[in-house]
Structure 1
Amino acid sequence: MIRCKRVYDAVGQGDGQRVLVDRLWPRNKRKDELHGQWLREVAPSTELRKAFHQGEVDFAAFSQRYRQELAAHPEHWYALLDLMAKGDLTLLYAGKDTEHNNAQVLAAWLEEEWERRGPGSSPVCYAP
């Protein structure tokens, strides 16, 4: 099961593996408070992140472009499928909007990939 949670929320018993999926380190958060790992390369590109936060693209366009970035770089997210295989996964993000953020898009992407993942799948299978 994948959960999305603000990095500022308390650690929960059901969090399982916790992974920060933002490109920038969250403000006022010490690294020893993360209780998980940071995969900054799985976050949207700096250009896309800025365009979304500045209102140049809406959430639908952001989601579509972020999915294109994910499709182009399976090496950034493929290890998350292995974490999912071990149990619960919590994707952490710093944004205030709990519905319109990169973690939500990534969670949906991973769920879809999990469904497609078959025996013997590997990142090579995703290469163009």
Structure 2
Amino acid sequence: MTREPVIRLRRVYDPPDPAADGVRVLVDRLWPRGLAKAVAGVDQWPKAVTPSAELRKWFHDGGSAQEFRRRYEAELAEPGAVAELGRLPELAAAGPLTLLTSVKDPASSHAAVLAELLSG
């Protein structure tokens, strides 16, 4: 019997929760503004699974969430992203995996799309 992976979404600015976070993975392309690396408690930063700069700009310029998701999933299918993406389920299977982002609402962000894909 395999157990369901525990994948959490949190803001990187929230303090780490050692009892619940497990492995903390930053899923933003840029380091969060004003946050010291020592304070963030980030274990991994796989930039290949983050939305490209072009996709982020397109979305912030008024792109739709549905089209963003389609384009982001296409980026995740590219060879560099596939390799990095393949490591995340292994981390989730070993214990909690927390996807960190600087966006104000992680549940409505690329991190949620990534969590859904990882949850399968």
Same fold (TM over 0.5): yes
Could you say which residue in structure 2 is the equivalent of 1:70? 76
Aligned partners of 2:9 and 2:107 also within 8 Å:
no
User: How far is the alpha carbon of 1:81 from its aligned partner?
Assistant: 1.1
1:20 aligns with 2:40: no
> May I ask how many residue pairs the two structures share in their alignment?
111
Aligned partners of 2:27 and 2:46 also within 8 Å:
yes
Question: Which residue of 32, 48, 52 corresponds with 1:45?
Answer: 52
User: How far is the alpha carbon of 1:49 from its aligned partner?
Assistant: 0.9
Q: Distance in 2 between matches of 1:34 and 1:69?
A: 26
User: How far is the alpha carbon of 1:98 from its aligned partner?
Assistant: 3.0
Percent of aligned pairs with the same residue?
47
Report runs of 4+ in structure 1 exceeding 3 Å deviation: none
For each residue in 1:15-55, what CA deviation from the matched residue of structure 2 results, as whole angstroms up to 9, or x when unmatched? 11000000001011111112122122210111101111221
Could you say which residue in structure 2 is the equivalent of 1:89? 97
SS of residue in 2 equivalent to 1:18: strand
RMSD: 1.1
Unmatched runs of 5 consecutive residues or more in structure 1: 113-128
Q: Distance in 2 between matches of 1:88 and 1:97?
A: 20
Question: Which residue of 5, 8, 13 corresponds with 1:3?
Answer: 8
After TM superposition, the score normalised by the length of structure 1 is 0.81
Q: Distance in 2 between matches of 1:63 and 1:90?
A: 20
Q: Distance in 2 between matches of 1:37 and 1:29?
A: 16
User: How far is the alpha carbon of 1:97 from its aligned partner?
Assistant: 2.4
